[in-house]
Amino acid sequence: RNNIERLNVLVNDLLDISRIESGRVTLNSRPVNLYEIAEEVVTETLRRSQTENKPMALSVDAPKNLPPVIGDKDRVRQILSNLVNNAYNYTPENGTIHVNIHQQNGELQVDVQDNGIGIKVEDQARLFERFYRGEDPLVLATPGTGLGLPIVRQLVEMHKGKLWMQSTGVPGEGSIFSFTLPVEKMENK
């Protein structure tokens, strides 16, 4: 069953990245409540942690009355879901994953922070390349296609946002993946 699920993920990721790169993905852009999506993704990940018996502390922090972003709700959810799932996969039991959303300069910034294994400095430059997974034995032992982050990068760029990451490379200090999306502009009437 696990092999079938892994194959399904691989096929879907391959289809997704080829559609995105060939320009066949069009965004159905409208106002999107980013906080709501973050809450849903964190709730799903908490359920997963219970099902897999891998205790994890997950939280979302955002100020009240965040403006909506302009984006494709399903694709914004995919961005957040991929980043939170990565954090979950590379954070050991009893770890923490924190999603922080804040507004600045006409954008919302989302930071997905974990205290997982971190990312070696020498692997960071290639992290968003297709199929690249690094050399760390802990990374290689974790199932994955090496397509999640390239898909996230493409989707963030399609939304006119930016994506970056920070990690000291020290195990246990984790990493922070951040992205921005433009806020809905309020028209003066």
Which DSSP string corresponds to 5-46? HHHHHHHHHHHHHHHHHTT-----EEEE-HHHHHHHHHHHHH
Please determine, for residue 85, whether its predicted confidence score (pLDDT) is greater than 60. Answer: yes
Q: Among residues 88, 69, 78, 86, which one has the least CA distance to residue 151?
A: 78
Greater confidence (117 vs 45) lies with 45
Retrieve residue 73's tokens: 């709700």
Question: Residue 4 is which amino acid?
Answer: I
The answer to whether residue 36 scores a pLDDT higher than 90 is yes
pTM of the full predicted structure?
0.86
Give 154-168 pLDDT, tens digit per residue. 999 999 999 999 998
How confident is the model over 120-149, as a mean pLDDT?
Answer: 72
- Sketch out the chain's domains with CATH numbers: 2-182 (3.30.565.10)
Q: What is the mean pLDDT of residues 113-132?
A: 81
The strand pairing partners of 71, in sequence order, are: 30
Percentage of the residues of the chain whose pLDDT score is greater than 70: 87
